[in-house]
């Protein structure tokens, strides 16, 4: 069942996938378009937010009222209305800030240098990544930070992208398993450690790996690698959003095709520690799109996410920005907050008690801030 604005409950289709075959199944990451590529966007004006969106509905049943599948797959609840109040309307802006942890800013420069900038010292190069790729950073213990990035590596299959991680000023440690590539990597704090997840998009399948990172005796330690999900053929290089509530499993959000005729967001449960073949469900879109932006962050200790999807299944339908909240193993959709002919990127940041959203449309970047229940 596809998500509709007036819908009340979204049916979750549950399934399990097996661990991916050996690396020769499907093309390696290098056979896909480089992560730095960007599609051209039409020169059209950015449409204003929909002023008819309803204010928060206090009568909405709490997330615990959502129907859960008996197989422990995550469930999706559609409120059918906009439950977040807009504190600052959408205005043009620059791009979002780079990753910030413990007062330090991390970025990937044009030449691929992974750089840390602090107020009390000169920039420091920590490693080298593939230019144009994304960086992830998270706190790990008191005053420490771990950074993850993608870099090229020569193998018997040619040059492929793999994921690495660096703790503070330490040496880079390979994050992705031998025999696996990586096309996207992200981090989120969980308990005393950090949960790392990476996508290895190939031509015919899309494995998602996860593992726990900890700091032991001043060094980065990697927990066992688990293949938590295996999707089918991707569209482009899917982006993954990761959220870890204070209690219960983490959730990974992955927009991609569901079978040959549908497109949606896979909602993947990730236990502690991560296990192979974790339960998952789907929240289907009216139609597919490429790219399919998604992002997640925490406000007041609660995880929220933003995603972009088509407004309808009509050809050339505009894109809409949809917000949601993660409660345990339940995904609650909180309504639509912006529309544009095309939205190619979305980012989130916490500005307590507000949620700040960046979106990139044909006219460039813009921001809005909302207060969500």
Identify the pLDDT of residue 1: 38
Residue 148 main-chain phi, psi, to 5 deg = -125, 145
Beta-strand runs (E) in 285-329: 294-299, 302-310, 319-327
User: Is 293:309 a contact under the CB 8 Å cutoff?
Assistant: no
Q: Is 143 left (phi over 0), alpha (psi -120 to 50) or beta?
A: left
Distances from the Cα of 245 to the Cαs of 131, 189, 270, 296, 301, in angstroms?
A: 32, 10, 11, 12, 7
Question: Which contacts of 32-36 are long-range, i.e. CB under 8 A and separated by 24 or more positions?
Answer: 32/183, 32/201, 32/202, 32/203, 32/236, 32/237, 33/236, 33/237, 34/130, 34/132, 35/130, 35/132, 35/133, 35/134, 35/150, 35/161, 35/183, 35/184, 35/237, 36/130, 36/131, 36/132, 36/133
- Domains (ranges, CATH) in the chain? 13-40+98-329 (2.120.10)
Residue 318 main-chain phi, psi, to 5 deg = -65, 165
Residue 297 main-chain phi, psi, to 5 deg = -160, 180
Closest CA relative to residue 329, chosen from 64, 34, 47: 64
Rg (CA), the chain: 20
Q: Is 29 helix (H, G, I), strand (E, B) or coil?
A: helix
**CA-based torsion, 310, 298, 345, 250: positive or negative:** negative
Q: Is 67 helix (H, G, I), strand (E, B) or coil?
A: coil
Q: Render each residue's pLDDT in the chain as its tens digit; 373 residues.
A: 343 333 333 333 333 344 444 444 444 444 443 333 333 333 333 344 443 333 333 333 333 333 334 357 888 888 888 999 999 999 999 999 889 998 899 999 999 999 999 988 899 999 999 999 999 999 998 889 999 999 999 887 789 999 999 999 999 999 999 889 999 999 999 999 999 999 999 999 999 999 999 999 999 999 999 999 999 999 999 999 999 988 889 999 999 999 989 999 999 999 999 999 999 999 999 999 999 999 999 999 899 999 999 999 999 999 999 999 998 888 999 999 999 999 999 999 999 999 999 999 999 999 999 999 9
Q: Is 64 helix (H, G, I), strand (E, B) or coil?
A: helix
Identify the pLDDT of residue 71: 56
Q: pTM of the predicted model, to two decimals?
A: 0.81
Q: Is 171 helix (H, G, I), strand (E, B) or coil?
A: coil
Residues forming beta bridges with residue 161, ordered by sequence position: 152
- Cis peptide bond N-terminal to 353, omega within 30: yes
Burial class of residue 58 in the structure, from the number of CB atoms within 10 Å of its CB (0-12 exposed, 13-18 middle, 19+ buried): exposed
User: Is 96:347 a contact under the CB 8 Å cutoff?
Assistant: yes
Contacts with 364 (C-beta within 8 Å, 6 or more apart), sequence order: 92
């Amino acid at each position: 069942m596809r998500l509709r604005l007036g819908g009340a409950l979204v049916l979750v289709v549950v399934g399990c996938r097996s661990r991916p075959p050996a690396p020769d199944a499907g093309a390696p990451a290098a056979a896909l378009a480089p992560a730095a590529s960007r599609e051209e966007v039409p020169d059209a004006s950015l449409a204003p937010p929909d002023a008819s969106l309803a204010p928060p509905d206090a009568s909405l049943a709490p997330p615990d009222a959502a129907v859960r599948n008996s197989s422990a797959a995550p469930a999706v609840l559609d409120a059918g209305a906009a439950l977040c109040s807009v504190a600052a309307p959408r205005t043009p802006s620059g791009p979002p800030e780079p990753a910030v942890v413990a007062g330090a800013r991390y970025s990937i420069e044009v030449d691929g240098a992974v750089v840390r900038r602090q107020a009390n010292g000169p920039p420091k190069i920590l490693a080298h990544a593939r230019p144009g790729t994304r960086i992830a950073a998270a706190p790990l213990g008191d005053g420490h930070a771990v950074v993850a990035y993608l870099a090229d590596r020569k193998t018997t299959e040619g040059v492929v992208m793999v994921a690495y991680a660096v703790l503070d000023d330490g040496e880079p440690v390979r994050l992705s398993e031998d025999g696996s590539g990586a096309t996207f990597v992200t981090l989120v704090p969980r308990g005393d450690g950090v949960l790392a997840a990476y996508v290895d998009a190939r031509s015919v399948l899309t494995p998602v790996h996860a593992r726990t990172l900890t700091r032991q005796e001043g060094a980065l330690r990697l927990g066992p690698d688990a293949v938590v999900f295996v999707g089918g053929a991707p569209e482009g290089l899917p982006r993954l959003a990761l959220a870890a509530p204070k209690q219960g499993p983490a959730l990974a959000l992955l927009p991609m095709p569901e079978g040959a005729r549908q497109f949606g967001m896979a909602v993947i449960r990730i236990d502690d520690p991560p296990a192979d073949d974790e339960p998952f469900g789907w929240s289907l879109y009216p139609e597919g799109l490429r790219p399919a932006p998604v992002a997640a962050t925490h406000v007041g200790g609660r995880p929220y996410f933003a995603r972009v999807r088509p407004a309808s299944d009509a050809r050339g339908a505009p894109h809409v920005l949809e917000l949601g909240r993660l409660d345990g193993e339940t995904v609650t959709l909180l309504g639509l907050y912006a529309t544009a002919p095309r939205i190619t990127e979305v980012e989130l940041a916490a500005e307590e008690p507000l949620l700040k959203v960046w979106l990139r449309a044909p006219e460039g970047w813009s921001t809005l801030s909302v207060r969500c229940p």
